[in-house]
């Protein structure tokens, strides 16, 4: 497997996930995929917009399987646009019957992780902040995730503003939050 070290800036394109809106369950879901890739530091990197990036920003070229290469410095096998660690990927590949580690398979697997967090319907409805909070146990870059790693994580935690900016840049819509509005009923 050929490995290339790449440190490229993020692209300025809006939506970069390969899955269609229809297959993902709506454009908000696709926008969430782009915000995850941005948070994980993979959007716009590598030759395949992060789909070919391993933790530490080294790239792989063969999409037949998860590269399953341990970054000893970071003690992680994370790879792909959504930085799947190998055990997580193996379980998703089996449960979803994914044929490979291609961009489409990665998108489908990330959507399944969102669903497993109980956040998929929130995203579809535009309740993105709620979805981000629900998904922080999966992606260490999400706001509030640092408290889940008492020994620290080598990955920087993104702010909620960063996540929402990436989501809206990708064309995601955020539902109005009326939870703090007082009822006009006397």
**Catalytic residues, which ones?**
40
Give strand pairing partners of 58: 5, 54
Phi-psi region of 44 (alpha: psi -120 to 50; beta: other; left: phi over 0): left
User: What is the distance between the alpha carbons of residues 106 and 126, in angstroms, rounded to a whole number?
Assistant: 22
Q: Which residues 6+ apart lie within 8 Å of 33 measured at CB?
A: 17, 19, 24, 81, 82, 107, 110, 111
User: What is the distance between the alpha carbons of residues 52 and 81, in angstroms, rounded to a whole number?
Assistant: 7
Structure tokens at 137: 């146990």
Residue 161 backbone phi and psi in degrees, to 5:
-60, -45
Tell me the residue ranges of DSSP E strands in the chain.
4-5, 53-54, 58-59
């Amino acid at each position: 497997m050929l490995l290339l070290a790449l440190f490229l800036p993020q692209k300025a394109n809006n939506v970069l996930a390969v899955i269609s809106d229809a297959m993902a369950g709506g454009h908000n879901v696709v926008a969430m995929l782009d915000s995850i890739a941005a948070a994980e530091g993979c959007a716009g990197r590598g030759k395949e917009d992060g789909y070919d990036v391993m933790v530490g920003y080294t790239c792989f070229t063969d999409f037949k399987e998860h590269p399953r290469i341990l970054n000893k410095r970071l003690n992680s096998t994370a790879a792909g646009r959504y930085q799947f660690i190998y055990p997580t990927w193996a379980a998703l590949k089996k449960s979803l019957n994914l044929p490979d580690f291609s961009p489409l398979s990665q998108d489908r697997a990330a959507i399944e992780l969102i669903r497993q967090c109980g956040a998929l319907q929130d995203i579809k409805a535009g309740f993105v902040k709620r979805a981000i909070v629900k998904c922080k146990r999966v992606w260490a870059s999400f706001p509030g995730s640092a408290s889940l790693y008492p020994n620290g994580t080598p990955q920087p935690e993104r702010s909620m503003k960063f996540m929402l900016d990436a989501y809206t840049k990708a064309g995601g819509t955020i539902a109005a939050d009326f939870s703090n509005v007082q009822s006009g009923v006397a």
